[in-house]
Amino acid sequence: MRHSEIQFKRRVQRTVEQQGLSVAFAQLLLRYEDISARMEAYYWECDTVREVRLEKLQATFHVSRREAQRLGRLYETAKR
């Protein structure tokens, strides 16, 4: 059994004991929380990458933020 599986089982057991839930519901709840946390991290990372790209466009072409956004959209459209 992998370490992550053991940790998950411990979390399930703790949740069952603390909140009085069934094992199946506790598993569902914890998996939902894990997925939500991963999605939040992914979207935060996407926003960070977007900001860095805008800053690089602004610095490279010496343009305003609005113009950098327009350049970014043009680049993404041309890439398709």
Tell me the per-residue pLDDT of 37-70, one tens digit each, with 9 for 90 and over.
Answer: 888 888 888 888 888 888 998 998 898 989 988 8
Number of domains in the chain: 1
- Asked whether residue 25 carries a pLDDT value surpassing 80, the answer given is yes
Contact between 65 and 54 under an 8 Å Cβ cutoff? The reply is yes
**pTM, 2 dp:** 0.56
Residue % of the chain over a pLDDT of 90: 42
Nearest to 27 by CA among 6, 5, 7, 12: 12
Domain that holds residue 45: 3-79
pLDDT at residue 78 is higher than 90: no
Task: Over range 7-32, report the average pLDDT.
Answer: 94
3-class DSSP state of 26: helix
Instruction: Give the span between the Cα atoms of 6 and 60, in whole angstroms.
Output: 49
73-80: average pLDDT:
78
